[in-house]
Amino acid sequence: MNMAYTLAEKIINAHIVDGEPVRGTEVGLKIDQTLTQDATGTMAYLEFEAMGVPRVKTERSVAYIDHNTLQNGFENADDHRFIGSVCRKHGIYFSRPGNGICHQVHLERFGAPGKTLIGSDSHTPTGGGIGMLAIGAGGMDVAVAMGGGAYYITYPEIVNVKLTGKLQPWVAAKDVILEVLKRLSVKGGVGKIIEYSGDGVKTLSVPERATITNMGAELGATTSIFPSDEITREFLRAEGREEVFVPLSADEDAVYDKVIEINLSELVPLAACPHSPDNVKTCEEIGKLKIDQVCIGSCTNSSLLDMLKVAHILKGKTVHPDVSLSIAPGSKQVLNMLAENGALAVMIDAGARILESACGPCIGMGQSPNSKGISLRTFNRNFEGRSGTKDGQVYLVSPELAAASALTGYLTDPRTLGDMPEFEIPEKFYINDNMIVPPASEKDMDSVEVLRGPNIKPFPVSEPLEKDINAVCALKVGDNITTDHIMPAGAKILPLRSNIPEISKYCFAVCDETFPARALELKKSIIVGGANYGQGSSREHAALAPLYLGVKAVITKSFARIHMANLINAGIVPLVFENESDYDRINQGDELEIQDITDQLKKGDTITVTDKTTGVDIITKVSLSDRQREMLLAGGLLNYTKLNGKG
Ligand code: MIC
Ligand code: SF4
CATH code for position 334: 3.30.499.10
Is the same domain home to 602 and 475? yes
CATH number at residue 598: 3.20.19.10
- Contacting residues for 584 by C-beta, under 8 A, at least 6 apart: none
Cα(556) to ligand 2 centroid in Å equals 27
Is the same domain home to 479 and 597? yes
Residue 275 appears among annotated catalytic residues = no
Confidence band for 277, pLDDT divided at 50, 70 and 90:
very high
434 within some domain: no
CB 173 within 8 A of CB 77: no
- Contacting residues for 205 by C-beta, under 8 A, at least 6 apart: 231, 235, 305, 424, 425
Q: What gap in Å lies between CA 67 and CA 103, rounded to an integer? A: 12
User: What is the pLDDT, as a whole number, of residue 556?
Assistant: 98
Q: Is 51 left (phi over 0), alpha (psi -120 to 50) or beta?
A: alpha
Q: Count the domains in the chain.
A: 2
Task: Name the closest ligand to CA 362.
Answer: 2
User: What is the pLDDT, as a whole number, of residue 479?
Assistant: 97
Residue 484 reports pLDDT greater than 50 = yes
Q: pLDDT over 70 for what percent of the chain?
A: 99
39 within some domain: no
Query: Looking at ligand 2, which residue's alpha carbon is closest to its atom 3?
Result: 299
User: What is the pLDDT, as a whole number, of residue 156?
Assistant: 98
Is the same domain home to 484 and 548? yes
* Closest CA relative to residue 492, chosen from 503, 482, 500: 503
Choose one of 400, 417, 434: the last residue of a domain: 417
User: What is the pLDDT, as a whole number, of residue 2?
Assistant: 62
Tens of pLDDT, residue by residue over 569-601, are: 999 999 999 999 999 999 999 999 999 999 999
- Contacting residues for 457 by C-beta, under 8 A, at least 6 apart: 498, 499, 500, 501, 502
Is the same domain home to 391 and 489? no
Q: pLDDT over 90 for what percent of the chain?
A: 97
User: What is the pLDDT, as a whole number, of residue 458?
Assistant: 86
Is the same domain home to 638 and 564? yes
Mean pLDDT across 541-550: 98
11 within some domain: no
Tens of pLDDT, residue by residue over 129-164, are: 999 999 999 999 999 999 999 999 999 999 999 999
**Exposed (0-12), middle (13-18) or buried (19+): which is 255, by Cβ within 10 Å?**
middle
Cα(474) to ligand 2 centroid in Å equals 31
The minimum-distance atom of ligand 2 relative to the CA of 102 is: 6
Is the same domain home to 336 and 411? yes
User: What is the pairing mode between strands 525-528 and 469-476?
Assistant: parallel
Mean pLDDT score of the chain, rounded to an integer? 97
* DSSP conformation class of 239: T
26 within some domain: no
The minimum-distance atom of ligand 2 relative to the CA of 362 is: 2
Residue 338 reports pLDDT greater than 50 = yes
Cα(355) to ligand 1 centroid in Å equals 19
Mutation pick for ligand 1 pocket among 300, 382, 537 (CB with most ligand atoms within 8 Å): 537
Is the same domain home to 361 and 483? no
Residue 463 reports pLDDT greater than 60 = yes
- Which range is least confidently modeled, 229-233, 253-257, 638-642? 638-642
Cα(362) to ligand 1 centroid in Å equals 9
From the list 32, 38, 79, 121, the catalytic residue is 121
Q: What gap in Å lies between CA 553 and CA 567, rounded to an integer? A: 9
* DSSP conformation class of 493: T
Query: Looking at ligand 1, which residue's alpha carbon is closest to its atom 7?
Result: 537
Tens of pLDDT, residue by residue over 404-415, are: 999 999 999 999
**Which amino acid is located at 132 in the chain?**
M
Half-sphere exposure at residue 237, Cβ-oriented, CA atoms within 13 angstroms: 10
User: What is the pLDDT, as a whole number, of residue 643?
Assistant: 84
Q: What gap in Å lies between CA 27 and CA 153, rounded to an integer? A: 6
CB 563 within 8 A of CB 516: no
Residue 331 reports pLDDT greater than 50 = yes
User: What is the pLDDT, as a whole number, of residue 515?
Assistant: 98
> Any bridge partners for residue 354, and if so which?
327
Choose one of 396, 417, 438: the last residue of a domain: 417
Confidence band for 462, pLDDT divided at 50, 70 and 90:
confident
Residue 381 appears among annotated catalytic residues = yes
How far from chain centre, in Å, is Cα 195?
18
CB 133 within 8 A of CB 116: yes
User: What is the pLDDT, as a whole number, of residue 1?
Assistant: 54
Range of the domain at 535: 469-644
Task: Name the closest ligand to CA 485.
Answer: 1
Residue 306 appears among annotated catalytic residues = no
From the list 60, 377, 381, 485, the catalytic residue is 381
Choose one of 352, 387, 417: the last residue of a domain: 417
Tens of pLDDT, residue by residue over 397-453, are: 999 999 999 999 999 999 999 999 999 999 999 999 999 999 999 999 999 999 999
171 within some domain: no
Query: Looking at ligand 1, which residue's alpha carbon is closest to its atom 2?
Result: 537
Please give the angle made by the CA atoms of 349, 354 and 359, to the nearest 5 degrees: 155
Tens of pLDDT, residue by residue over 3-29, are: 899 999 999 999 999 999 999 999 999
Is the same domain home to 478 and 384? no
Q: What gap in Å lies between CA 219 and CA 484, rounded to an integer? A: 16
Cα separations in angstroms, 625 against 314, 538, 561, 604, 630:
54, 21, 14, 11, 9
Q: What strand order describes the sheet that includes 60-64?
A: 133-136, 116-119, 33-37, 60-64, 93-95, 436-437
237 within some domain: no
From the list 60, 539, 541, 627, the catalytic residue is 539
The minimum-distance atom of ligand 1 relative to the CA of 539 is: 10
User: What is the pairing mode between strands 16-18 and 26-29?
Assistant: antiparallel
* Closest CA relative to residue 581, chosen from 618, 610, 553: 618
Tens of pLDDT, residue by residue over 309-321, are: 999 999 999 999 9
345 within some domain: yes
Is the same domain home to 274 and 385? yes
Is the same domain home to 508 and 585? yes
Is the same domain home to 344 and 478? no
Is the same domain home to 534 and 628? yes
Cα separations in angstroms, 216 against 107, 210, 412, 520, 634:
16, 10, 25, 36, 33
286 within some domain: yes
Mean pLDDT across 363-382: 98
Q: What strand order describes the sheet that includes 270-272?
A: 280-282, 270-272, 393-396, 374-377, 293-296, 324-327, 353-354
Confidence band for 647, pLDDT divided at 50, 70 and 90:
very low
